[in-house]
Amino acid sequence: MIYNRRTQLISVSEALQRLLSSFHPLQSEMVSLADAAGRVLYEGIRSDLDLPLFTNSSMDGFAIRSQDVHKASKDNPVQLSIVEDVPAGKTPTIGLGKNQASRIMTGAPLPEGADAVIPVENTDQFDPKTQTSSGKTGEVWIYQSAKPGDFVRHRGEDVHEGDLILEANAPLKPQELGILAMLGKAEVSVYRRPKIAIVSTGDELVPLGKTLKSGQIHDSNAYTLFALIKRDYADAQYLGIVPDNEESVTEILKSAVDIKADLILSSAGVSVGVFDYVRKVVQREGELDFWRVNMRPGKPIAFGNFHGVRFIGLPGNPVSAFVGYEVFVRPAILKLSGIPRVPRHKLKARLVEEIESDGRESYLRGIVTFENSEWSARLTGHQGSGNMLSLVHANALLVIPSGVKSLAAGMEVDTWLLE
């Protein structure tokens, strides 16, 4: 019975459900704000301050009392005497009385009595003796009227003490680091980053930089996976290439256990070929939950654990490995990272051509465009699962449900936009 369950071809949704049920968010750690970009917030953050923290000027100019200047204009300037300079970073010491102004800089606190600021462009400082512009002495002509609050940033107009600023379980964006710094948060509590061990398997694989002999290919999956893992806020550690034999496969999987990987991600060697040792080793030394999923590309996808470490074996073909990652690995890694839902950009698009499928849930490489006020979808060309260029040219995966063998031109199709 158990044997049966393990060899069954299962649906994508069942596979995903079984897989996700064994992934749980990691614990938290404190990191300095400087290291917090892209880290996933563990707890929501409330402000214990008002922002701005004090009422201040939004312009370089003159802090004034609006009632003193309500008749001011270019032809009818109002004359005020300057009582103080208030640069940013200083506290005003003199409150304004009738017909008084303080010269104020952007970001400086507003003096007592002032209720508005006149930008310097609409003023002239002058020498009262000569009645000419001087820029130095203690009088200013105001050429503009003002309403209370003009060019003033009020305490708390952006944030109130106690406001919820950021919700937990999302990666921190640059602008969010900015507001955390405004709030004085030098450290934040984030989820630990998952550590993903990447293993490439196959006698034919050669690392980049080595010349290919007959029948050999470069290990490309490692690079694709490395970049996908990085995109998904996790750390990737490439353990290298192993040849197709049980001892080497066992040894490299053990080294993933040694480095305390949260997930082992291998590619190739999980199919039905006589040299597909990865699945056999996982079955022997750990547990295999499933290894065949009713999807295209990427039917041989294995999930289980090796010596207690979660293991996902992706197919070897580069496009299958990519699709397998998007469908299964991404949600799993995001869940470990504390992100409960995959932020996938989905669109319904109208097919501009007929699409054949084979009844498996299919993820086809396509191009989605906005034409004649609707989204249209077409394939990028040959869908062979080793053909990477058709994935490079794609901007979406077209998702064809299981049981569907063909979709006519003009029908709607679900698409996932690729980033």
Q: Binding residues for ligand AMP, per CB under 6 A?
A: 200, 202, 204-205, 217, 219-222, 267-269, 271, 273, 315-318, 386
Task: Return the sign of the alpha-carbon dihedral for residues 267, 273, 276, 281.
Answer: positive
Considering beta carbons, is residue 275 or 375 the nearer one to ligand AMP? 275
Residues near Mg ion (CB under 5 A), total: 2
Q: Is 298 a binder of Mg ion (CB under 5 A)?
A: no
Beta-bridge partners for 139: 81, 126
Q: Which of 140, 198, 242, 268 binds Mg ion (CB under 5 A)?
A: 268
Considering beta carbons, is residue 52 or 315 the nearer one to ligand AMP? 315
Residues 208/218, Cβ–Cβ less than 8 Å: yes
CA 172, CA 38: separation in Å to the nearest integer? 5
Q: What is the DSSP string of 286-330?
A: EEEEE--BSEES----EEEEETTEEEEEE-SSHHHHHHHIIIIIH
Q: How far is the CB of 369 from ligand AMP (least distance, A)?
A: 30
Q: How far is the CB of 364 from ligand AMP (least distance, A)?
A: 19
CA 306, CA 284: separation in Å to the nearest integer? 9
Considering beta carbons, is residue 61 or 304 the nearer one to ligand AMP? 304
Considering beta carbons, is residue 103 or 296 the nearer one to ligand AMP? 296
Q: Is 318 a binder of Mg ion (CB under 5 A)?
A: no
Considering beta carbons, is residue 109 or 202 the nearer one to ligand AMP? 202
CA 264, CA 260: separation in Å to the nearest integer? 10
Q: How far is the CB of 407 from Mg ion (least distance, A)?
A: 33
Residue 334 is encoded by which pair of tokens? 């995001």
Task: Residue 215: name the closest of 223, 224, 228, 206 by CA.
Answer: 206
Binding partner selected for residue 221 from ligand AMP, Mg ion, none, CB under the kind-specific 5 to 8 Å limit = ligand AMP
Starting at the edge strand found earlier in the chain, the sheet holding 235-242 runs 235-242, 195-201, 263-267, 309-314, 302-306, 286-290
Considering beta carbons, is residue 116 or 228 the nearer one to ligand AMP? 228
Beta-bridge partners for 335: none
Q: Which of 109, 171, 194, 202 binds Mg ion (CB under 5 A)?
A: 202
Q: How far is the CB of 291 from ligand AMP (least distance, A)?
A: 12
Residues that bind Mg ion (CB under 5 A): 202, 268
